[in-house]
């Protein structure tokens, strides 16, 4: 991973603008899940750290833009760039990071470059769907999972496909792994938004619903509530939630096992990912660490 950090630092310094270096240093690196995945799939390849750095820059750019779109004041426990330096700066820093990533991508074979580049179109579509869907209460599970796939899983899937292509492994198999890992990862993230506190999350708890996002536990809850309670839930949607409503939602979710049901789906997806790469202990370990995050 040190080689990835070195590559990231090199790409940032090549942007040749001290303001970019200053702002980038303020970002917390995060879990670097995508980079770790690339290194585990293509450990020996000399260009794997560069590919990992490219994907991490794209991911960082997408989060910078996402925080502007969501008007989020914190990211990974520290103030977001839009909070400290304003939305214009956050958008422009995102533009610099992802165009620099694309510039570096041209040094890879076309199939690899295409896999990564097309996933950015997909994740941008996913983000747009997410914003559209947050305008109204959504109770459609399939629609929600389609959006999640685009918004979160496609870049992880593309990272897996691209690194497999780099070392001549079967891209389809690794793609299945990446897609299901990505979906499972995001569902666990959605669960943690409900079950964790603000200090652990580095952002306010139960914030998804306040932002209008009806994640799986909310969809499952809606499904089982009586009509009058369905209305109560819809009324709480996309607003600052008061303590009594927050408590009611949590109690109903506990009663109807909505978090457990969501976790079960995350586990099934994770098993599907595991089955695709059964013999690859390093990749199985990534899945296990991720599932453990939810405890």
Which positions lie near Mg ion, rule CB under 5 A? 66, 70
Q: Are 105 and 117 in contact (CB under 8 A)?
A: yes
How many angstroms from the chain centroid is the CA of residue 211?
16
**Residue indicated by tokens 């620099």:** 100
Taking the least distance from each CB to ligand FPP, the nearer of 9 and 91 is 91
Q: Binding of ligand FPP at residue 191 (CB under 6 A)?
A: no
**104 belongs to the binding site for ligand FPP (CB under 6 A):** no
Size of the site for ligand FPP (CB under 6 A): 15
State how far the Cα of 192 lies from the Cα of 294, in Å rounded to an integer: 6
Strand residues in the chain grouped as ranges (E): 74-75, 78-79
CA distance 167 to 157: 16
Please say which residue, 66 or 193, places its beta carbon nearer to Mg ion: 66
User: Based on CB atoms, which residue is closest to ligand FPP, 98 or 108?
Assistant: 98
- Which member of 56, 70, 104, 157 binds ligand FPP (CB under 6 A)? 70
- Residue 56 interacts, among Mg ion, ligand FPP, none and using kind-specific CB cut-offs from 5 to 8 Å, with none
User: Residue 152 Cβ, how far from ligand FPP at the closest point, in Å?
Assistant: 5
Looking at the Cβ atoms of 124 and 196, the one nearer to ligand FPP is 124
| Identity of the residue, 167 or 192, whose beta carbon is nearer to ligand FPP in the bound complex | 192
What's the min distance (Å) between Cβ of 253 and Mg ion? 21
Q: Does 66 bind ligand FPP (CB under 6 A)?
A: yes
Residues sharing a CB contact under 8 Å with residue 119, sequence separation 6 or more, in sequence order: 154, 155, 157, 158
Taking CB under 6 A as the criterion, the residue among 65, 100, 179, 237 binding ligand FPP is 65
Least gap, CB of 65 to ligand FPP (angstroms): 4
User: Cβ closer to Mg ion: 40 or 237?
Assistant: 237
Regarding 119 and contact with ligand FPP (CB under 6 A), the answer is: no
Interaction between residue 209 and ligand FPP (CB under 6 A): no
- Can you tell me the distance from the alpha carbon of 138 to that of 237, in angstroms, rounded to the nearest whole number? 10
Per-residue binding string, ligand FPP, 141-160, x by CB under 6 A, is ----------xx--------
Question: Which residue, 82 or 152, has its beta carbon nearer to ligand FPP?
Answer: 152
Q: How many CB atoms lie within 10 A of CB 111?
A: 12
Core vs surface per residue 280-294: b (16+ CB within 10 A) or e: beebbebbeebbeeb
Query: Could you tell me the end-to-end alpha-carbon distance of the chain, in angstroms, rounded to an integer?
Result: 26
Enumerate residues 6+ apart whose C-beta is below 8 A from 227.
Answer: none
- Pick the binder of ligand FPP from 41, 120, 147, 214 (CB under 6 A): 120
Q: How far is the CB of 151 from ligand FPP (least distance, A)?
A: 5
Contacts 24+ apart (CB under 8 A), 67-76: 68/94, 69/127, 69/131, 70/211, 72/203, 74/202, 74/203, 75/27, 75/28, 75/202, 75/203, 76/27, 76/28, 76/30, 76/202
Q: Which of 24, 32, 50, 62 binds ligand FPP (CB under 6 A)?
A: 62
**Nearest residue to 96 (alpha-carbon basis) of 175, 154, 22:** 22
- Least distance (Å) from ligand FPP to the CB of residue 268? 21
Contact footprint for ligand FPP (CB under 6 A): 58, 61-62, 65-66, 70, 72, 94, 98, 120, 123-124, 127, 151-152
């Amino acid at each position: 991973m040190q080689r990835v950090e070195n590559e990231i630092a090199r790409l940032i310094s090549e942007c040749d603008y001290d303001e970019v270096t200053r702002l980038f240093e303020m970002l917390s690196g995060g879990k670097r899940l995508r980079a770790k995945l690339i290194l585990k799939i293509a450990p020996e390849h000399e260009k794997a750290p560069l590919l990992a750095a490219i994907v991490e820059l794209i991911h960082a750019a997408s989060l910078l833009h996402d925080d502007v779109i969501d008007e989020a004041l914190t990211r990974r426990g520290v103030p977001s760039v839009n909070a400290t330096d304003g939305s214009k700066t956050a958008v422009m820093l995102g533009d610099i990071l992802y165009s620099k990533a694309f510039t570096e991508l041209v040094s890879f074979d076309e199939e690899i470059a295409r896999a990564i580049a097309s996933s950015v179109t997909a994740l941008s579509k996913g983000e747009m769907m997410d914003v559209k869907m947050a305008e109204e209460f959504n109770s459609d599970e399939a629609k929600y999972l389609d959006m999640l796939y685009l918004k979160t899983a496609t870049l992880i899937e593309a990272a897996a496909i691209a690194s497999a292509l780099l070392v001549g492994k079967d891209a389809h198999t690794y793609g299945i792994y990446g897609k299901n890992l990505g979906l499972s990862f995001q569902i666990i993230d959605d669960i943690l938004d409900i079950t964790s506190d603000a200090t652990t999350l580095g952002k306010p708890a139960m914030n998804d619903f306040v932002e209008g996002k009806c994640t799986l536990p909310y969809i499952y809850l809606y499904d089982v509530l009586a009509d009058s309670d369905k209305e109560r839930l819809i009324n709480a949607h996309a607003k600052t939630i008061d303590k009594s409503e927050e408590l009611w939602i949590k109690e109903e979710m506990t009663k109807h096992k909505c978090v457990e049901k969501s976790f079960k789906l995350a586990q099934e997806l994770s098993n599907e990912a595991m089955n695709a790469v059964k013999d690859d202990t390093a990749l199985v370990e990534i899945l296990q660490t991720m599932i453990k995050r939810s405890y």
